[in-house]
């Protein structure tokens, strides 16, 4: 039986670095992780510090120096990366994350309204977040970028049943289908969707993204094409409408998808 009284918890916490991590404040962590540029820093900090009332003014100010795509990638997403880190370390709790997500959403909506987007439709994309998964921020950003690049996006939203994804792909006949999963409990929906589509003779590229998946997992089932940045969506979609099949996309992944920023 463990003699709890004799355990020195201070030493245990120090041994595993828990004290050090827990002592870092959100301000200190943000200072290390947000961009140095003052304009983008402000935008990222609006997300980190849940300044949902300021975010639209700061995003609007950032348009003087940056495109809406840059404000999303280099400002808003950087802020959400810090929130993820704070949550992971137990410094932020779910309510913080919810308000930060709201600030992020307001910023992304303003960016979307500023994107000029191609008018001619290049092709159709069906998008969804995996069944049981509420995390739709990345999918929403990817949808904005695809729309602004001239794709007709059928956005099925989040927590979408496997059967509904399959039915929609069957009826809409898109060139590309996408799925996002941030939870290890939801990512297994993707191979099921791929198998069901294959059984129906549908063989289009299926972009699978989100923190729960990696390239090896996504390439372990038919059709899967891994993406880890929303900005990669239009590049993959472009190849898909040109007629590249998922095997060719995988072969040339490093060239077309794995460019700057890919892990």
**Could you list the residues that contact ligand B12 (CB under 6 A)?**
77, 80, 83-84, 87-88, 94, 97-98, 101, 134-139, 141-142, 178, 180, 182-185, 207, 209-212, 227-230, 232-233
Q: Closest separation between CB of residue 147 and ligand B12, Å?
A: 12
Q: State in angstroms the smallest separation of the CB of 31 from ligand B12.
A: 19
Q: Is 168 in contact with 206 (CB distance < 8 Å)?
A: no
Give the nearest distance from C-beta 223 to ligand B12 in angstroms: 14
Looking at the Cβ atoms of 132 and 199, the one nearer to ligand B12 is 132
Residues 92, 119: Cα–Cα separation, whole Å: 42
Nearest to 184 by CA among 132, 126, 128, 127: 132
Q: Please tell me the distance from the alpha carbon of residue 243 to that of residue 240, in angstroms, as a whole number.
A: 5
Q: Rank residues 139 and 239 by Cβ distance to ligand B12 and give the closer one.
A: 139
Q: Which is nearer to ligand B12, 184 or 198 (CB)?
A: 184
Cβ–Cβ under 8 Å, residues 232 and 176: no
Considering the complex, state which of residue 7 and residue 145 has its C-beta at the smaller distance from ligand B12: 145
Nearest CB to ligand B12, comparing residues 62 and 218 = 218
Start-to-end Cα distance in the chain: 46
Smaller CB distance to ligand B12: residue 1 or 132? 132
CB of 78 to ligand B12, least distance (A): 10
153 bridge partner residues: 125
Nearest distance, CB of residue 125 and ligand B12, angstroms: 8
How many degrees, rounded to 5, is the angle at CA 217 between CA 162 and CA 168? 25
Q: Which is nearer to ligand B12, 2 or 210 (CB)?
A: 210
Min dist CB 87 to ligand B12, Å, is 5
DSSP letter for 89, please. T
CA distances (Å), origin 53, targets 43, 75, 106, 158, 174? 12, 16, 9, 25, 38
Q: How far apart are CA 144 and CA 42, in angstroms?
A: 22
Q: How far is the CB of 190 from ligand B12 (least distance, A)?
A: 12
Q: What share of the chain is helix, strand, coil (3-state, %, to 5)?
A: 55, 10, 35
């Amino acid at each position: 039986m463990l003699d709890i009284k004799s355990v020195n918890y201070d030493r245990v916490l120090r041994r595993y670095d828990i004290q050090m991590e827990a002592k870092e404040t959100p301000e200190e962590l943000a200072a290390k992780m947000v961009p140095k540029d003052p304009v983008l820093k402000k935008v990222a900090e609006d997300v980190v510090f849940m300044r949902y009332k300021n975010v639209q003014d700061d995003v609007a100010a950032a348009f003087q120096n940056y495109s809406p795509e840059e404000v999303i990638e280099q400002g808003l997403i950087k802020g959400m990366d810090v929130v993820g880190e704070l949550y992971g370390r137990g410094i932020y709790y779910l309510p913080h994350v919810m308000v930060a997500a709201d600030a992020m959403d307001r910023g992304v909506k303003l960016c979307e309204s500023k994107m000029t987007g191609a008018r001619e439709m290049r092709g159709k994309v069906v998008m969804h977040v995996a069944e049981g998964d509420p995390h739709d921020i990345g999918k929403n950003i990817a949808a904005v970028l695809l729309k602004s690049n001239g794709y007709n996006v059928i956005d099925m939203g989040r927590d979408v049943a496997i059967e509904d994804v399959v039915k929609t792909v069957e009826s809409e006949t898109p060139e590309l289908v996408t799925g996002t999963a941030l939870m290890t409990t939801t990512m297994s929906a993707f191979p099921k969707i791929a198998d069901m589509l294959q059984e129906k003779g549908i063989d289009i590229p299926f972009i699978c993204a989100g923190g729960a998946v990696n390239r090896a997992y996504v390439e372990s089932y038919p059709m899967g094409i891994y993406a880890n940045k929303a900005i990669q969506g239009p590049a993959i979609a472009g190849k898909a409408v040109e007629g590249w099949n998922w095997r060719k996309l995988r072969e040339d992944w490093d060239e077309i998808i794995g460019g700057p920023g890919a892990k």
